[in-house]
């Protein structure tokens, strides 16, 4: 695994900490039934080791954090593929319509595009 320094997506999202740290690639997947599709439309984020694997708020240990990343990935997917339905492609929807409205109200504060990259 390649190691490099950069911004951690969750440090920025949760604490507005733009500091550079060693970061690792995390692939956001959407359920084991969709593994092939997840790989085809794979979305990855860079996370510090604490937010990736080791901390209480890590993508691999904290269900709420994992869900947050899935929701962000869904939003990113919808922005990049406006002609496709996330629900139709993956058979699942992570975004509650009420939450989506609340998010748009705060959309100036944080830009998902900065964190997610298609692979």
> What SS3 class is residue 25?
strand
At closest approach, how far in Å is the CB of 61 from Zn ion?
Answer: 11
Q: Which stretch binds Zn ion (CB under 5 A): 10-18, 83-91, 92-100, 105-113?
A: 10-18
Instruction: Find the binder of Zn ion among 8, 28, 45, 112 (CB under 5 A).
Output: 8
Contact between 48 and Zn ion by CB under 5 A: the answer reads: yes
Contact between 75 and Zn ion per CB under 5 A: no
Tell whether residue 7 is a contact of Zn ion (CB under 5 A): no
Number of Cβ within a 10 Å radius of residue 48: 24
13 binds Zn ion, rule: CB under 5 A: no
On whether the CB atoms of residues 66 and 47 are closer than 8 A, the answer is: no
- Residues of the chain by 3-state class (helix, strand, coil), percent to 5: 50, 15, 35
- Map residue 34 onto helix, strand or coil: helix
Q: Is 43 in the site for Zn ion (CB under 5 A)?
A: no
Residue 17 CA to residue 97 CA, distance in Å, equals 28
Return the number of the residue (9 or 94) whose C-beta is nearest Zn ion. Answer: 9
Q: Using CB under 5 A as the criterion, which residues of the chain lie in contact with Zn ion when the complex forms?
A: 8, 10-11, 26, 48, 51
């Amino acid at each position: 695994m390649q190691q490099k320094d950069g911004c951690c997506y969750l440090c920025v999202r949760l604490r507005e900490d733009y500091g550079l740290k060693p970061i690792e690639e995390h692939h956001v997947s959407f359920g084991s039934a969709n593994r092939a599709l997840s790989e085809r439309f794979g979305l990855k984020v860079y996370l510090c080791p604490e937010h990736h694997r080791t901390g209480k708020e890590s993508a691999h240990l904290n269900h709420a954090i994992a869900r947050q990343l899935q929701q962000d990935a869904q939003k990113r997917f919808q922005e990049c593929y406006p002609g496709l339905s996330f629900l139709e492609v993956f058979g699942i929807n992570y975004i509650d319509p009420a939450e989506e409205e609340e998010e748009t109200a705060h959309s100036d504060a944080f830009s998902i595009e900065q964190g997610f990259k298609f692979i």
